[in-house]
């Protein structure tokens, strides 16, 4: 195990049961590097996980306090937890694209609307891979998957030039960044900013799933081909597959009140006024 | 003398994904011969002397089984 | 001791405040909304937090998360919202996190009638989520006073059993105005047989021991215990597992921590059973008050009839029902739910009187009582009744 796992993780869960070539561990590692770089320890972060590969592979790896949430609802659990915890306790949620942009989007949007003080790390493998590789709402168009055997015809959150980040930004999120799981220090830097944001941060990290997305959609399990394809979708210029821009999409840190702190302050003030009355 | 680095792979934790090899600009890694307890052929540090400490391998290793350390620093302090 | 004149919803609010509830998350729905409204006014007065959620699924998740963070919490709804609690209800059961859930039943199915009483979630409140491998605690008030008392009791049981507790009221109890006693001191509270259990903190990092013990504090995050709340089947240390043996221990704990301590939960009222009458009426919630009047009047006419009024519904109190007794179950639904449990438990002659949205009349019940006691075939009634 490396120094990060020794410092922060339950040894029993490392290595994870993820497939060889699965990039989720890259996402997991970058979050830990950001935590380390932010000078945070086991008592400073409460780690929540969603359901799916991202949730399953990160659940109860964090040696500090942690919890697993129901599919798409870890954001609502975190809302209650946020109100109960002191503001300096960070809440980090590692979830998948299905959890966040599928079943959980309603709750995610309301967390953004409230500017809830949480850091949501969406590890996106372009579909519902832990259930065998069905398309999701970020799966590129035309891709063959177990549930789109004739090619994915569904308009997704990134079809026709749209971007789910535009919706999250308008909903009120105060920090949004996107990276490939192969990105190095820049991804860590964005995660550090996300953690520092008192309000709602979401970092969307796209990573390779070899077993389903690779084998079925990209029709290859070859690591180099997958490595090149994922590098390509973030590159400039013409290439097959979708296009993504890595880096900070929206940074309004500190520009909106954080939901739980505002509620706590208002309640304290209300109590003082009632006391005086 | 430029600093040298040690690169270590915990072969039992490695799943042979090869991302370290693909990310390394200096060709430090190669697929090992041994199959570990989990049935994966782990990668190995074939040419450690080539390492320039860029840590790209560390940043793309998904399985927390690779470490890059500064071996020793010659000449100028720090 | 103060005497208040207010609705069941208001009584539930005061009960929750007394119990130390600090977070209420809810979603507007008749006839449960007034609990949310009262909470939005009362909680700030005691330093608590009212959160209006995007739907009922979020409401109970928010309450469960607040409880996971160490704050006692409650949510309230009616039938159509209670169905959306299934996912977070299961989360709270599996993670063994206390939370109080109020359901003011109305007429169904689906949107049905909002301003009329029903009792359509009798079975649903026993199985409020999927998966099996658990028991549930459900209390059923029939007055403003009991709405207050049972809310306090629900919070106490939730803490002691590390589990969600449901208060299954109906629209008449929720909206009905009645006077009720509001204690002002712990002594006055104790005089009503009520008490408050403080929220303690599980030391962690391991999960709960594989035993049916209660009074083990729930996991609370943010206190540096390194504890985990897992909605995956957990090992003793809290790791998710696919092994069957840890699953058996987890299921054993969830079922038997409740079944082994029924004396803390079981509660019922009995009327005119001293002489073991041949016919006993069985009911809960607001119809039980008409049943009591009908039985009192029948006794005045010399008819040998008694009544059992269930105050705790689940775990079901089989021991109250005997084969030699004829049971007439009175419910606010027309499909018959409580009657199935009574028939199963009694294994004797069982009859059903059911109508949704409107209480039975005393005279209506007297007709049925006289028919059954005289051995005649019960006449068909709008609510239809037959040997079950």
Model pLDDT for residues B19-71, shown as the tens digit of each residue: 999 999 999 999 999 999 999 999 999 999 999 999 999 999 999 999 999 98
Closest CA to C114 of C147, C90, C142, C81: C81
| Cα three-residue angle C332-C336-C340, rounded to 5 degrees | 130
Q: Which CATH number fits domain C2-191: 3.40.50.1100, 3.40.50.1360, 3.40.50.2300, 3.40.50.970?
A: 3.40.50.970
Residues C47 and A271: beta-carbon distance below 8 Å? yes
Residues with Cβ within 8 Å of C250's Cβ and at least 6 positions away in sequence, in order, are C94, C133, C210, C233, C234
pLDDT higher than 60, residue C384: no
C235-244 LR contacts (CB < 8 Å, sep 24+): C235/C207, C236/C206, C236/C207, C236/C209, C236/C210, C237/C205, C237/C206, C237/C207, C238/A60, C238/C205, C238/C206, C238/C207, C239/A10, C239/A12, C239/A13, C239/A60, C240/A56, C240/A59, C240/A60, C240/A68
Domain CATH for A168: 3.40.50.970
Q: Which CATH architecture has domain C268-373?
A: 3-Layer(aba) Sandwich (3.40)
Question: Could you say which residues from 196 to 215 on chain A have a Cβ atom under 8 Å away from some Cβ of chain B?
Answer: 210
The beta strand positions in C140-223, using DSSP E, are 164-170, 177-182
Crossing angle for the helix pair C144-161 and C8-19, to the nearest 10 degrees: 30
Tokens 């005497």 belong to which residue? Answer: C3
Contact list, B14 vs chain A (CB under 8 Å): 15
Å between A45 CA and nearest CA of chain C: 8
Q: What tokens does C156 get?
A: 């106490």
C2-191 and C268-373 agree in CATH topology:
yes
Contact list, A28 vs chain B (CB under 8 Å): 62
Looking at the structure of chain A, the number of domains it has is 1
Helices (H) and strands (E) counted in chain B, each on its own, are 2, 4
**Residue A222 included in any domain:** yes
pLDDT higher than 90, residue C237: no
Kindly determine whether residue B64 and residue A182, on different chains, have CB atoms separated by under 8 Å: no
The Cα–Cα gap between C37 and C56 comes to 15
Å between B61 CA and nearest CA of chain A: 6
Say which of B40, B56, B66 has its CB closest to residue A2: B66
The whole-number pLDDT of residue A275 equals: 84
The full set of domain ranges for chain C reads: 2-191, 268-373
The Cα–Cα gap between A48 and A61 comes to 11
**Residue A4 included in any domain:** no
Q: What are phi and psi of C251, to 5 degrees?
A: -65, -40
Among A22, A25, A125, pick the best mutation site for testing chain B contact (most B Cβ within 10 A).
A25
pLDDT higher than 50, residue B77: no
A10: closest chain C residue by CA: C239
The whole-number pLDDT of residue B74 equals: 56
Tokens 């109190």 belong to which residue? Answer: C317
The Cα–Cα gap between A195 and C123 comes to 45
The whole-number pLDDT of residue C381 equals: 58
The helix (run of H) or strand (run of E) holding residue A273 is helix A259-276
Contact list, A78 vs chain C (CB under 8 Å): 65
Residues C51 and C77: beta-carbon distance below 8 Å? no
Beta bridge partners of A206: A124, A180
Question: Over its length of 277 residues, how does chain A's per-residue pLDDT go in tens digits?
Answer: 999 999 999 999 999 999 999 999 999 999 999 999 999 999 999 999 999 999 999 999 999 999 999 999 999 999 999 999 999 999 999 999 999 999 999 999 999 999 999 999 999 999 999 999 999 999 999 999 999 999 999 999 999 889 999 999 999 999 999 999 999 999 999 999 999 999 999 999 999 999 999 999 999 999 999 999 999 999 988 877 899 999 999 999 999 999 999 999 999 999 999 887 6
**Residue A3 included in any domain:** no
**Residue A25 included in any domain:** yes
pLDDT digits (tens, 9 = 90+) for A53-77: 999 999 999 999 999 999 999 999 9
pLDDT digits (tens, 9 = 90+) for A179-220: 999 999 999 999 999 999 999 999 999 999 999 999 999 999
> Please, do chains C and B touch (3+ CB pairs < 8 Å)?
no
Residues A6 and B67: beta-carbon distance below 8 Å? no
Residues C4 and C10: beta-carbon distance below 8 Å? yes
Residues C158 and C139: beta-carbon distance below 8 Å? no
pLDDT digits (tens, 9 = 90+) for C309-344: 999 999 999 999 999 999 999 999 999 999 999 999
Å between A121 CA and nearest CA of chain C: 19
Instruction: Find the domain containing A167 and state its range.
Output: 12-276
Residues C130 and C94: beta-carbon distance below 8 Å? no
Contact list, B58 vs chain A (CB under 8 Å): 2
Residues A134 and A96: beta-carbon distance below 8 Å? no
Touching subunits for chain C (3+ Cβ pairs under 8 A) = A
Kindly determine whether residue C230 and residue A107, on different chains, have CB atoms separated by under 8 Å: no
**Residue A1 included in any domain:** no
């Amino acid at each position: 195990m490396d120094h990060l796992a020794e410092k922060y993780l339950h040894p029993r869960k490392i290595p994870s049961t993820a497939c060889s070539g699965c990039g989720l561990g890259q996402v997991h590692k970058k979050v830990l590097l950001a935590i380390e770089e932010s000078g945070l320890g086991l008592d400073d972060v409460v780690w929540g996980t969603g359901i799916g590969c991202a949730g399953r592979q990160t659940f109860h790896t964090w040696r500090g306090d942690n919890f697993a949430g129901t599919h798409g609802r870890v954001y609502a659990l975190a809302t209650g937890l946020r109100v109960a915890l002191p503001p300096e306790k960070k809440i980090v949620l590692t979830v998948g694209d299905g959890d966040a942009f599928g079943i959980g989007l309603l709750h995610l949007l309301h967390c953004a609307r409230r500017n809830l003080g949480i850091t949501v790390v969406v590890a996106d493998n372009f579909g519902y891979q832990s259930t065998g590789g069905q398309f999701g709402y970020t799966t590129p168009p035309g891709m063959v998957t177990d549930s789109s055997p004739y090619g994915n015809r569904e308009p997704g959150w990134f079809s026709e030039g749209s971007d789910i980040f535009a919706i999250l930004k308008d909903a009120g999120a105060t920090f949004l960044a996107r990276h490939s799981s192969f990105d190095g220090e820049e991804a860590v830097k964005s995660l550090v900013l996300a953690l520092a944001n008192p309000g709602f941060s979401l970092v969307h990290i796209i990573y390779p799933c070899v077993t389903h997305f690779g084998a079925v959609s990209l029709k290859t399990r070859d690591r180099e081909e997958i490595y090149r394809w994922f590098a390509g979708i973030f590159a400039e210029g013409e290439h097959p597959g979708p296009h993504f821009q890595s880096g900070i999409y929206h940074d309004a840190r500190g520009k909106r009140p954080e939901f739980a702190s505002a509620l706590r302050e208002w309640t304290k003030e209300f109590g003082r006024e009632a006391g005086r009355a | 003398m430029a600093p040298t680095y040690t690169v270590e792979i915990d072969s039992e934790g490695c799943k042979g994904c090869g991302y370290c090899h693909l990310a390394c600009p200096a060709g430090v890694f190669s697929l090992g011969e041994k199959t570990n307890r989990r049935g994966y052929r782990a990668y190995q540090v074939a040419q450690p002397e080539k390492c320039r400490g860029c840590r790209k391998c560390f940043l793309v290793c998904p399985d927390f089984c690779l470490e890059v350390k500064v071996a020793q620093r010659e000449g100028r302090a720090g | 001791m103060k005497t208040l004149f207010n609705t069941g919803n208001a009584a539930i609010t005061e009960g929750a405040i007394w119990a130390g509830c600090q977070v209420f998350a809810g979603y507007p729905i008749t006839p449960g909304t007034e609990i949310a409204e009262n909470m939005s006014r009362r909680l700030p007065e005691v330093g608590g937090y009212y959160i209006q959620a995007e739907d009922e699924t979020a409401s109970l998740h928010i309450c469960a998360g607040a409880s996971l963070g160490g704050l006692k919490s409650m949510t309230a709804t009616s039938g159509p919202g209670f169905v959306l609690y299934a996912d977070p209800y299961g989360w709270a059961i599996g993670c063994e996190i206390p939370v109080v859930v109020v359901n003011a039943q109305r007429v169904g199915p689906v949107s049905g009638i909002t301003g009329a009483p029903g009792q359509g979630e009798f079975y649903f409140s026993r199985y409020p989520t999927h998966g099996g491998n658990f028991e549930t605690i459900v209390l059923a008030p029939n007055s403003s006073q009991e709405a207050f008392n049972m809310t306090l009791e629900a919070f106490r049981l939730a803490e002691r059993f590390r589990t969600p507790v449901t208060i299954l009221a109906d629209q008449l109890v929720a909206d009905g105005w009645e006077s009720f006693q509001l204690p002002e001191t712990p002594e006055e509270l104790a005089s009503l047989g009520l008490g408050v259990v403080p929220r303690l903190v599980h030391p962690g990092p391991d999960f709960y021991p594989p035993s049916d013990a209660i009074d083990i504090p729930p996991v609370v995050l943010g206190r540096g215990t390194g504890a985990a709340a897992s909605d995956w089947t957990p090992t003793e240390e809290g790791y998710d597992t696919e092994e069957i043996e840890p699953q058996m221990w987890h299921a054993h704990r969830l079922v038997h921590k409740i079944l082994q301590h029924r004396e803390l939960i079981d509660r019922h009222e009995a009327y005119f059973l001293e002489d073991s009458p041949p016919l006993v009426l069985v009911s809960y919630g607001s119809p039980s008050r008409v049943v009591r009047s009908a039985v009192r009047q029948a006794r005045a006419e010399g008819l040998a009839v008694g009544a059992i009024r269930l105050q705790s519904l689940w775990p079901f109190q089989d021991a109250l029902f005997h084969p030699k007794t004829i049971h007439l179950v009175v419910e606010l639904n027309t499909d018959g739910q409580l009657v199935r449990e009574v028939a199963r438990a009694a294994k004797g002659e069982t009859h059903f009187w059911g109508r949704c949205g409107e209480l039975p009349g005393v005279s209506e019940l007297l007709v049925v009582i006289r028919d059954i006691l005289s051995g005649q075939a019960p006449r068909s009634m709008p609510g239809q009744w037959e040997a079950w």
